[in-house]
């Protein structure tokens, strides 16, 4: 899909150096105006208070010794409306705020084959806002929002709308509404980003198909990660951790179909994974460790396969709000399983029912959770295991593993 990032960088920079000329200029805007297509602008260290710098030709903007572009909390700082633009080595801060316009530190529109790399963006409404673009990279940027703001007064760190063939890689993101936001984005890839301490989601998908996110860290966000109204999403090797709160979860899946969730770690979340209206998902080789709920599977979910996962130290392994379950849970390791393996084949001889009676009660009466450690709850759950009456009869692991899966 994409060429190697260093090759991509050299191709852009190489073209820009061909027509390089030296100018004595006093502002970035003047340099952009005098430059010819494929020129390179070296922006040296200093503080540049310039508003609405517009790039409408193929250029490379290269910062030397960390120049700072300051929007003074009033203006959009850098706007790009051209193909094959390179932006690297800049610190951009204090873009303006507007409830009517999506003001940004860097905004790119209707462009392709551009690279935004090795920049620092601080205190911007939207840090990087991309609209109607394709075949581009956003790499190795450090993005910091404004502490103490609310969701209405800050935008997203990396915001993509109506894009395709994007690569979002190795960015360090915190303090925005959503760390990474995709809407109508297809055939794109998110890898090795660290998205934490964001007000709402570390990552937010909407109406985006055939995308993947791999080896990212989503920690201590308001509600973790949300993937909604999308299909064919691949989610591998990610960490979902410390996403806590009354409505918090590591991963929310809503109206999702035909996806893979594999080799992820869900650790210390209020809910590891919440599934609503999901179909044909393969959830395999994940670790669910010390979550409040490991999996909450709503009755609207069907034809999902959950196997070869490890469930350790969770308050509730699986919860549901209905009696009809159309999903397969065979072949997982459950630390609460008390069965035996007389055949010595590594699979328990007695099926395991991961839904406890008390989890069914708390689904309908959340305040009942205050009794979770009481003796009466222990006795109720024990009696339900012996004579099931409320928990869904067909939500069962018929092949529970005796030892954890090697991940």
Query: With contact defined as beta carbons under 8 Å apart, do 196 and 219 qualify?
Result: yes
Q: Indicate the SS3 state at residue 370.
A: helix
Query: With contact defined as beta carbons under 8 Å apart, do 337 and 331 qualify?
Result: no
Nearest by Cα to 85 from 3, 164, 5, 9: 9
More confident residue, 26 or 289: 289
Residue ranges per structural domain of the chain = 5-328
Indicate whether 370 pLDDT > 80: no
As a whole-number percent, the residues of the chain with pLDDT over 70 amount to: 84
The values of phi and psi at residue 217, to 5°, are -115, 125
Range of weakest confidence among 8-17, 92-101, 240-249, 358-367 = 8-17
More confident residue, 373 or 186: 186
Q: Indicate the SS3 state at residue 376.
A: helix
Indicate whether 217 pLDDT > 60: yes
- What is the CB neighbour count within 10 angstroms for residue 106? 27
Residue with tokens 């009354």: 246
For 155-172, write each residue's pLDDT tens digit. 999 999 999 999 999 999
Nearest by Cα to 291 from 312, 262, 261: 312
CATH assignment of 5-328, given 2.160.20.10, 3.40.50.2020, 3.40.50.300, 3.40.50.620? 2.160.20.10
Q: Where are the beta strands (DSSP E) in 82-224?
A: 86-88, 91-93, 104-109, 115-117, 120-122, 126-131, 134-139, 142-144, 158-169, 172-174, 178-186, 189-191, 194-196, 201-206, 212-214, 217-219
Exposure pattern of 54-75 as b/e (b: 16+ CB <10 Å)?
Answer: ebebbbbbbbeeebbbbbeeeb
β-pairing, 178-186 vs 142-144, is: unpaired
Q: How far apart are CA 123 and CA 129, in angstroms?
A: 14
Residue with tokens 């503080």: 47
As a whole-number percent, the residues of the chain with pLDDT over 90 amount to: 73
- What sign results for the dihedral spanned by CA atoms 392, 398, 399, 403? positive
Max Cα distance, the chain (Å): 85
Q: How far apart are CA 78 and CA 69, in angstroms?
A: 9
Residue 373 contacts by C-beta under 8 Å, 6 or more apart in sequence? none
Q: Is the pTM for the entire model greater than 0.85?
A: yes
Take residue 373 and report the two structure tokens written for it. 């450690």
Output the DSSP codes for 10-36: HHHHHHHHHT------SSHHHHHHHPP
For 60-79, write each residue's pLDDT tens digit. 999 999 999 999 999 999 99
Mean pLDDT for the stretch of residues 40-53: 94
Enter the DSSP assignment of 346. Answer: S
Q: How far apart are CA 222 and CA 243, in angstroms?
A: 6
| Per-residue H/E/C for 46-102 | CEECCCCEEECCCEEEEEECCCEEECCCCCCCEEECCCCCEEECCEEECCCCCCCCC
Query: With contact defined as beta carbons under 8 Å apart, do 407 and 332 qualify?
Result: no
The values of phi and psi at residue 51, to 5°, are -100, 140
Confidence band of 246 (pLDDT split at 50, 70, 90):
confident
Indicate whether 10 pLDDT > 70: no
The values of phi and psi at residue 273, to 5°, are -135, 130
Q: How far apart are CA 60 and CA 82, in angstroms?
A: 11
Q: How far apart are CA 156 and CA 174, in angstroms?
A: 10
Write down how long the chain is.
407
State the pLDDT at residue 227.
97
The values of phi and psi at residue 151, to 5°, are -65, -30
Take residue 250 and report the two structure tokens written for it. 């590591």
Query: With contact defined as beta carbons under 8 Å apart, do 106 and 126 qualify?
Result: no
Q: How far apart are CA 141 and CA 174, in angstroms?
A: 12
Q: Which contiguous run of DSSP H or E holds residue 358?
A: helix 357-364
CA 72 to chain centre: 30
């Amino acid at each position: 899909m994409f060429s190697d990032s260093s090759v991509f960088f050299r191709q852009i920079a190489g073209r820009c150096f061909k027509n390089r000329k030296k100018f004595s200029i006093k502002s970035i805007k003047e340099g952009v105006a005098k430059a010819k297509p494929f020129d390179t602008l070296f922006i040296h260290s200093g503080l540049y208070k310039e508003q609405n710098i517009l790039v409408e030709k193929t250029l490379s903007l290269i910062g030397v010794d960390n120049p700072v572009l300051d929007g003074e909390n009033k203006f959009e700082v850098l706007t790009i409306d051209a193909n094959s633009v390179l932006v690297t080595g800049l610190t951009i801060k204090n873009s303006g705020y507007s409830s009517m316009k999506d003001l940004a530190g860097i905004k790119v529109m209707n462009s392709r084959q551009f690279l935004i790399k090795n920049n620092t963006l601080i205190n911007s409404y939207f840090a990087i806002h991309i609209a109607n673009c394709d075949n581009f990279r956003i790499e190795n940027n450090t993005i910091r929002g404004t502490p103490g703001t609310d969701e209405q007064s800050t935008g997203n760190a990396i915001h993509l709308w109506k894009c395709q063939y994007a690569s979002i890689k190795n960015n360090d993101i915190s303090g925005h509404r959503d760390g990474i936001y995709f809407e109508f984005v297809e055939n794109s890839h998110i890898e090795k980003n660290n998205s934490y301490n964001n007000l709402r989601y570390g990552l937010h998908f909407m109406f985006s198909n055939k995308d993947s996110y791999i080896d990212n860290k989503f920690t201590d966000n308001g509600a973790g990660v949300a993937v909604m109204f999308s299909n064919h999403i691949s989610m591998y090797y990610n960490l979902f951790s410390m996403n806590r709160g009354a409505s918090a979860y590591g991963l929310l899946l809503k109206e999702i179909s035909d996806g893979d969730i594999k080799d992820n770690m869900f650790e210390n979340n209020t809910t590891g994974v919440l599934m609503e209206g999901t179909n044909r998902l393969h959830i395999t080789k994940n670790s669910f460790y010390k979550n409040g709920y490991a999996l909450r599977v709503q009755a609207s979910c069907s034809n999902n396969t959950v196997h070869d996962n490890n469930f350790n130290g969770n308050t509730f392994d699986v919860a549901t709000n209905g009696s009809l379950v159309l999903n397969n849970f065979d072949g997982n390791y459950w630390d609460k399983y008390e069965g035996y393996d007389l055949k010595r084949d590594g699979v328990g001889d007695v099926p395991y029912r991961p839904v406890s009676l008390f989890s069914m009660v708390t689904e309908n009466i959340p305040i009942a959770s205050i009794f979770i450690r009481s003796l009466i709850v222990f006795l109720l759950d024990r009696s339900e295991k012996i004579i099931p009456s409320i928990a869904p009869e067909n939500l069962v692991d018929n092949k529970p593993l005796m030892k954890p899966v090697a991940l």
